[in-house]
Chains A and B, each alone.
Chain A
Amino acid sequence: MNRRLPYLIALGALVCALSGLFPMAGGPPEGVTAFGRLPVLSEGRMKPLDSVARNTLLVIQGRQRVVTPEGRELSPDEWLLDVFFRPDLADTYKVFVVDNTDLLSLIGKSEDSQKIRYDKTSQQIAAMIGFIPSNQRRMSFKEIEPYLAQIEAQDKLAEPVEAAERTRFQSAVIQLAGNLSRYLRLRRAMVPEGSDNFLGELLHLQENLADGINAVRDKEAGKPHDEAKAAAMLDEGQKFVGMSESTDLLAIPPDDEDTDANDWHNTGHALLETFGKGFVDPSVLSYAGIGYAWRTGQPDKLAHIVEMYQKSLDQRFAKQVQKVRVETIFNRAEPFYACMLIYLTAFGFAALSWLKWVEPARRTAWGLVALAWVLATLGIATRMWLEGRPPVTNLYSSALFIGWGSVGLCLILEWTYKNAIGSAAAGMIGFATLLIAHHLALAGDTLEMMRAVLDSNFWLATHVVVVTTGYASTFLAGMLAIIYILRGVFTKTLDKATADALARMVYGIVCFATLFSFVGTVLGGIWADQSWGRFWGWDPKENGALIIVVWNALILHARWGGLVKQRGLVCLAVFGNIVTSWSWFGTNMLGIGLHSYGFTQAAFWWLSGFIVTQLALIALANLPLEKWRSFRAPAGPAV
């Protein structure tokens, strides 16, 4: 049994990981899922409506789950259908995060009014500790709507202040205003404001189009005309102009023979062309039909219309449709979420193996890490195929890649040493980097388009990948050092052999990190020289990378010169975590230089917190040896 258990656990994890791929009982009907697969052009790339829904939800409320006031859970696709076609309902869903106190008072709320009252004492205690939410962080559009004017005014006041100098209130109000406008742009994407039966209106328009256009022509020419018909036609035109200006979702494909993916336009724009073409765009009619079916609760009809519309695209945009399909599956599978849980479990088993149940727990941990790594590899590969780019294109993907690279190295370490240290480090780094990636995803589409200055697949594939591997290995050295400190100080499991092995691993990984961070930095210099005619410009990100190289070199020289032994080495390696996190995130927070493409303010506090923990670990390592549980015994190793 003990021999098979690792396989059984890994298999169980695999089944859990893949479960997202298959439709569950009680999930949304097939038509809704198919609706999510429809391609649109948004933020510069072709993507499924499903991604539009998920990204919007992540940005405005920090999660994909939506619950109606009646307590029913909606899939992102159902939510989007409601936003498009039943805005009166969608407006009542609490999907806007507002947790700044000043912002709450701006919209007539206070922290007190947002408190959730629990009846049971146990619930009250749980809320106090933070196990269950203690206040309502999310609000519906309907609740915010009366204060739109105030929010807009405050937004205008805050906008001119430079991002780095904004107060928390200013950032919060800018963010809320941005989220509201994002929501409204979606709400107005398919149907004009306040239209109850858009399909009916369009069919009516289609019927009277010829007469109406003639009436308008006659009116403009000063001839006798049917005033009512002309006025109705001009009214429609006005409405469509309004629609075309109030959304950035390009949902309507170009005319039949045009297969250029850049020629998609929004619904209002397509409707304005009605007057020139003499008929209402069939794609617009399809969406209006979907809306009608959704409003009237006819899922079969909805599925039928979606299918017909999808077929009209399959031929013309075969390549894009294929990618969009894969992206929908990718969204649903959430491979990185599964990886995160598996890494965490793996860490648990690895740590367990140091205490008892040594061999089976170690093998289980290794199997789980390998499984998660394969899943992550598939996930990253899918993203690369979708984007047509090398793995690292923005901060989000750098987090994925750093995790992937570190875990890959850990697998080799574990294969060589078989002492569960590699698996433990893999579990920790894998989990942490994916958690960081998850928070970075809240900034918007993670498959966003590249800015012109970065548009070079060759350099992205070489410089960025190599330098990110350098980051990954520096973090790994730091993580191994942390294991050394924690095991040594708090447990009795760090015997001499293990301590020596760990120190050797740290040293080896630092060598590796020196090589990769140096080569990566140099390749960056060459890219800069090729593009801008100078090898080195002292740009913050360049400096950050340089500091990593110098720091790794410092560790090696200190070691060679005998200035540090095992404990000194691990302290330096832990400080390497600080250096690397500064280069990864801190330099972007300065908001200057050529690389400041990923400015994130909330990350500042996380970074500060991380640095404090690392300093605490270094302080811990400097405890006198007799305080280390592992070394308290008289026969401890000389370190």
Chain B
Amino acid sequence: MNAALKQLRSVLVSLRLTVLLLAMSIVLIFWATLDQVHLGVWGVQQKFFHSFVVTARVGELEVPVYPGGYLIGGLLLANLLSAHIYRFKLGWKKLGIWIVHAGLILLLIGELVSGLVQQDYHMSLDEGETKNYSESNRRNELAVVDVTDPAFDDVVAIPESLLARGAVVQSPKLPFRVVPRGYFPNALIQMRSDVPNAPPSPANAGMGAMLAVTPQEVSYTEDAHNTPAAYVELVGPDASLGTYVVSTRLGNPQRFDYGGRSFKLVMRPERHYQPFAITLEKFSHDIYPGTDIPKNFSSKIKLASPDGSLNREVLIYMNNPLRYAGLTYYQESFNGEHNSVLEVVRNPSWLVPYISCGAIALGLVIQFLMHLAAFARKRRTA
């Protein structure tokens, strides 16, 4: 083996590298915690943990300044695996350490996977309301709904990312193309009459002509919600139908008729449909007497499927979520006395941390007890 490779190997298997990486991970976590005040927990995860490098803005450039979670985690994994392969020795003495490290490898991989596949939505229900979908917390979509048949809605949903790219969408369900003419990740929508100096806009259909769109700074904090807006032109085979303003800020869908069919156009949080429906039967919220400290929240819901095979009542309350069909519904918050907001999480790798942490804890206990036994033996003979 040539000298350079040998040197690389001795660095890779060294405890020195382990200590360095552990120290770097501490700095990363600490920095991320501080930055959470500005970025919010989701922004921090993207910037620090689900990334190879952490970048900082210097003038116009994004400059890498620190290794991100993937890089540090990956190197730790490489360090751990290579050290074990290189110094492989089977024996009882190292059993605890072996188990700890095996659990740790599983934990690192599990966290990587869950970072990639975990998705969260929410579901806001008024008492008596039924929904068979939950809404994304961050992603939006442009829905073109064919409402010609009053009994049935035919939906074409265009993800926000396509609008952002300016991609022209043509669907066999629609007699026109959807052509994005401008997209703003966060924008204020006002009546044009309230903003005398608003620049002219391309919008001329629906409410478009009456509205002024003012782009806003994108916010990453937890409670602030970005309200994206876009200009979309609908182009038929012969002529344009006009350009609309769409935004999640506009509550009601804009309706129009074309080719003998009726459509609704609305930008809304991305929906995730599920093959069952949830009805909020009752929301309860108690406070401790004489205070405004919340004592408990709970939502009594009915879980039902259209074919009637599923029909049961469930009480969701703090520390007691509903797990069903790979989704976890937990009590998140509420709006007023008769509305409940459930958070909906899909995390297929939820079992991994249980196994890996169980292994690590077991390994630590074994190692700790062996140390203690050795110590006691030594003292007895001393």
Inside 8 A of B360's CB, which chain A residues have their CB?
A: 518, 522
- Nearest residue, chain B, Cβ from A531: B319
Residues A533 and B368 in contact, CB atoms below 8 Å apart: no
Q: How far is the CB of B269 from chain A (nearest CB, A)?
A: 19
Residues B345 and A533 in contact, CB atoms below 8 Å apart: yes
Within 8 A of A (CB), among B290-345: 290-291, 293-297, 318-321, 323, 328-330, 343-345
Residues A550 and B25 in contact, CB atoms below 8 Å apart: yes
Residues B330 and A531 in contact, CB atoms below 8 Å apart: yes
| 0 or 1 for each of A253-276: is its CB under 8 Å from B? (1 = yes) | 000000000101010000000000
- Given A449-B288, A544-B33, are A533 and B16 also a contact pair (CB < 8 Å)? no
Within 8 A of A (CB), among B1-36: 14-16, 18-19, 22-23, 25-26, 29-30, 32-34, 36
Kindly identify which residue among A43, A515, A553 contacts B288, using a CB–CB cutoff of 8 Å.
A43
Residues A264 and B368 in contact, CB atoms below 8 Å apart: no
Q: How far is the CA of A172 from the CA of B18 in the complex (A)?
A: 47
Residue with the greatest number of chain A CB neighbours at <10 A, chosen from B290, B295, B320, B364: B290
- Nearest residue, chain A, Cβ from B30: A547
Q: Could you list 29 A-B pairs, sorted by A, with CB under 8 Å? A: A44-B295, A262-B289, A449-B291, A451-B294, A453-B318, A508-B371, A508-B375, A511-B368, A519-B361, A526-B357, A531-B318, A531-B320, A531-B321, A532-B345, A533-B328, A533-B330, A533-B343, A533-B347, A533-B350, A534-B118, A535-B114, A535-B353, A543-B29, A550-B25, A550-B29, A551-B26, A557-B19, A563-B16, A592-B222
Q: Is A554 an interface residue (CB 8 A)?
A: yes
Q: How far is the CA of A512 from the CA of B34 in the complex (A)?
A: 29
Q: Is A536 an interface residue (CB 8 A)?
A: yes
Q: Is A558 an interface residue (CB 8 A)?
A: yes
Q: How far is the CB of A467 from chain B (nearest CB, A)?
A: 13
Residues A593 and B14 in contact, CB atoms below 8 Å apart: no
Size class of the contact patch on chain B: 35 or more
Inside 8 A of B345's CB, which chain A residues have their CB?
A: 532-534
Residues B45 and A538 in contact, CB atoms below 8 Å apart: yes
Q: Is B63 an interface residue (CB 8 A)?
A: no
Kindly identify which residue among A164, A452, A525, A539 contacts B318, using a CB–CB cutoff of 8 Å.
A452
- Nearest residue, chain B, Cβ from A247: B290
| 0 or 1 for each of A21-44: is its CB under 8 Å from B? (1 = yes) | 000000000000000000001111
Secondary structure call for the A interface: helix
- Nearest residue, chain A, Cβ from B297: A452
- Nearest residue, chain B, Cβ from A541: B33
Size class of the contact patch on chain A: 35 or more
Residues B41 and A593 in contact, CB atoms below 8 Å apart: yes
Residue with the greatest number of chain A CB neighbours at <10 A, chosen from B49, B294, B329: B294
Residues A557 and B15 in contact, CB atoms below 8 Å apart: yes
Q: How far is the CB of A4 from chain B (nearest CB, A)?
A: 30
Q: Is B111 an interface residue (CB 8 A)?
A: yes
Q: Is A248 an interface residue (CB 8 A)?
A: yes
Q: Is A159 an interface residue (CB 8 A)?
A: no
Q: How far is the CB of B156 from chain A (nearest CB, A)?
A: 31
Q: Is A514 an interface residue (CB 8 A)?
A: yes
Residues B29 and A546 in contact, CB atoms below 8 Å apart: yes
- Nearest residue, chain A, Cβ from B221: A592
Kindly identify which residue among B15, B16, B118, B371 contacts A511, using a CB–CB cutoff of 8 Å.
B371
Which A residues fall within an 8 A CB radius of B?
41-45, 164, 248-250, 262, 264, 266, 416, 448-449, 451-453, 455-456, 459, 508, 511-512, 514-515, 518-519, 522, 525-527, 529-540, 543-544, 546-547, 550-551, 553-554, 557-558, 560-561, 563, 579, 582, 587, 590-593
Inside 8 A of B44's CB, which chain A residues have their CB?
A: 538
Q: Number of A-B pairs whose CB atoms are under 8 Å?
A: 167
Residues B29 and A248 in contact, CB atoms below 8 Å apart: no
Q: How far is the CA of A499 from the CA of B316 in the complex (A)?
A: 57
Kindly identify which residue among A248, A537, A550 contacts B26, using a CB–CB cutoff of 8 Å.
A550
Inside 8 A of A42's CB, which chain B residues have their CB?
A: 290
- Nearest residue, chain B, Cβ from A264: B289
Q: How far is the CA of A434 from the CA of B375 in the complex (A)?
A: 32
- Nearest residue, chain A, Cβ from B358: A522
Kindly identify which residue among B111, B288, B290, B319 contacts A530, using a CB–CB cutoff of 8 Å.
B319
Inside 8 A of A558's CB, which chain B residues have their CB?
A: 15, 19
Inside 8 A of B368's CB, which chain A residues have their CB?
A: 511-512, 515
Q: How far is the CA of A464 from the CA of B365 in the complex (A)?
A: 19
Residues A532 and B343 in contact, CB atoms below 8 Å apart: yes
- Nearest residue, chain B, Cβ from A449: B288
Q: Is B37 an interface residue (CB 8 A)?
A: yes
Kindly identify which residue among B118, B290, B353, B365 contacts A525, using a CB–CB cutoff of 8 Å.
B353
Q: How far is the CB of B220 from chain A (nearest CB, A)?
A: 12
Q: How far is the CB of B350 from chain A (nearest CB, A)?
A: 6
Q: How far is the CA of A304 from the CA of B342 in the complex (A)?
A: 55
| 0 or 1 for each of B108-124: is its CB under 8 Å from A? (1 = yes) | 00010010001010000
Assuming A45-B288, A526-B353, A538-B36, what are 6 further A-B pairs, CB within 8 angstroms?
A262-B289, A416-B379, A449-B293, A514-B364, A532-B328, A558-B19
Residues B328 and A43 in contact, CB atoms below 8 Å apart: no
Q: How far is the CB of A373 from chain B (nearest CB, A)?
A: 22
| 0 or 1 for each of B206-225: is its CB under 8 Å from A? (1 = yes) | 00000000000000001000
Q: How far is the CB of B228 from chain A (nearest CB, A)?
A: 25
- Given A535-B353, A543-B33, A593-B36, are A519 and B364 also a contact pair (CB < 8 Å)? yes
- Given A451-B294, A515-B368, are A540 and B33 also a contact pair (CB < 8 Å)? yes
Residues A44 and B37 in contact, CB atoms below 8 Å apart: no
Kindly identify which residue among A44, A543, A546 contacts B289, using a CB–CB cutoff of 8 Å.
A44
Q: How far is the CB of A553 from chain B (nearest CB, A)?
A: 6
Inside 8 A of B290's CB, which chain A residues have their CB?
A: 41-44, 248-250, 264, 266
Q: How far is the CA of A587 from the CA of B22 in the complex (A)?
A: 20
Inside 8 A of A546's CB, which chain B residues have their CB?
A: 29
- Given A538-B41, A558-B19, are A522 and B321 also a contact pair (CB < 8 Å)? no
Q: How far is the CB of B25 from chain A (nearest CB, A)?
A: 6
Q: How far is the CA of A526 from the CA of B350 in the complex (A)?
A: 10
Residues B291 and A44 in contact, CB atoms below 8 Å apart: yes
Q: Is B354 an interface residue (CB 8 A)?
A: yes
Q: How far is the CB of A557 from chain B (nearest CB, A)?
A: 5
Q: How far is the CB of A86 from chain B (nearest CB, A)?
A: 25
Q: How far is the CA of A536 from the CA of B367 in the complex (A)?
A: 26
